[in-house]
Amino acid sequence: MSNANSNDLSFVRTEILPERTPPTSAIGVVGWMRANLFSGWFNTLLTLLAILVIYSILSVILPWLISPTWGAQSLDECREIIASTFGPNVDKACWGVINDRWIQLLFGFYPSELYWRPILAFILLWAALAPVLFAEGTPRQFLLVTALYPFVMPWLLWGGTIWTPLAILAGFAIAYGIVRLGASMIGTLSAIILSVVVALIWWLLVAGPLAGQLQSIIPLALTEVTSRDFGGMMLSIVIGVVAIGFSLPIGIILALGRKSNLLIVKALCVGFIEFIRGVPLITLLFVASVLLNIFLPPGTSFDIILRVIIMATIFASAYVAEVIRGGLAALPTGQYEAADALGLDYWRAQRLIIMPQALKISIPGIVSTFIGLFKDTTLVSIIGLLDPLGLSNAIRADTDWNGIVWELYGFIALMFFVFCFSMSRYSMYLERKLQTENR
């Protein structure tokens, strides 16, 4: 247009200039570095200092880490390899110990021909968790796996007859049936009480002999593995996963109980939470390992891992309960009033209005409690269970590997980091996914 009439003087540019590439100092690596690392003399100084610190750390650690000792059979052999390759007085890692013992650090003393069982249990764990963790995108059929997993996992890990978990499962089915049928006949509360009583009688008196009978008719059993064979990372994961799985629902119930208007329920929950939180976990573990042995009649075989799991679960539940109470307290009263105004009864209000919001608020706290619990599982080494840390001590007691410290701790730290970091990342993903307001 401007060319059409050259007399038309315009003071503004009428055509758009062609896009030009930004100056090289503003894009790419250079641009990123200018913006993030060297934007001003102070930041430049900090960057240089940080590089110096990182370099001085890595220059010590990396040469130590890179060490051709993977195939060594003992610490002495490691030292020979290092001395012959790098000359005397060179400090390097001895990775032979990891090569020799990594399977033990993962599985403990679990029979090697049965490793498929914990591995399968671990894979099924993800299948069972999928509908809970990644709610959308998972077929609903996976919920069945989730429901059955608590029965399948102990069977896979400890072995024994399949009729035992099935008999236990039947107890739940019976209880459910009584509630469904009895609710109309004798009222909901009586039906629930009756179902609990019947289920307890079933489990204590009927299920055991029944499982034995069925086993003698149709033998379907896996080789039994005793709890003393559990060890290493597997032990930590078993204790951690079971305690995490049970402490969340128990924690929710405790938190609700603590906010309840019913005096006795409230007193019980407050007492439980405050008592458990007032006692160090290590004390509970000692009670599990030592005191219970003295109180229970001699000859009672009350599985040591089960004792530890129970203690870890009640410990974590108390903390989770307080975290969730924090979430409940953060909800505006209007939410409760709105639920009441809609005519929802207590449980519906909790399920549809209160809990989804309270739990969302509590996610970071809950997950950090879980991470703490998972790391606390290493405390069981104090009562003589061979978790990774306990095993590291046992491995050092082998004359071949006596004197090795950092390699073992480093490997164990790496394993724990993988799990804890994934949990942490997952919690952040969950928070982002559930972020529904203020966007």
- Decide: is 322 part of the binding site for other proteins (CB under 8 A): no
Of 28, 181, 187, 224, the one binding other proteins by CB under 8 A: 224
Please report, as a single letter, which amino acid is at residue 213: Q
- Decide: is 375 part of the binding site for other proteins (CB under 8 A): no
Site string for other proteins, 99-118 (x = CB under 8 A): -xx--x---xx--x------
Is residue 130 within 8 Å of 143, Cβ to Cβ? no
Nearest Cα neighbor of 256 from 104, 358, 122, 373 is 358
Q: CB of 260: closest distance to other proteins in angstroms?
A: 26
Helix spans in 287-354 (H): 292-295, 304-330, 333-341, 346-349
Q: Which two tokens stand for residue 360?
A: 């969302």
According to CB under 8 A, which residues from 164 to 203 bind other proteins? 164-165, 168, 203
According to CB under 8 A, which residues from 79 to 98 bind other proteins? 79
Largest CA distance in the chain: 112
- Decide: is 154 part of the binding site for other proteins (CB under 8 A): yes
Is residue 402 within 8 Å of 75, Cβ to Cβ? yes
Nearest to other proteins of 165, 182 (CB atom): 165
Q: How many CA atoms lie within 13 A of 376 on its CB side?
A: 23
Of 229, 287, 331, 344, the one binding other proteins by CB under 8 A: 229
Nearest to other proteins of 119, 394 (CB atom): 394
- Decide: is 399 part of the binding site for other proteins (CB under 8 A): yes
Is residue 117 within 8 Å of 222, Cβ to Cβ? yes
Q: How far apart are the first and last CA of the chain?
A: 45
Of 289, 317, 362, 427, the one binding other proteins by CB under 8 A: 289
Q: What angle do the packed helices 304-330 and 232-258 form, to 10 degrees?
A: 40
Q: Which two tokens stand for residue 6?
A: 């050259």
Q: CB of 325: closest distance to other proteins in angstroms?
A: 28
Q: CB of 95: closest distance to other proteins in angstroms?
A: 15
Interface residues with other proteins (CB under 8 A)? 75-76, 79, 100-101, 104, 108-109, 112, 154, 158, 160, 164-165, 168, 203-204, 208, 224, 226-229, 286, 289-290, 293-294, 296-303, 306, 381-386, 390, 393-400, 402-403, 405
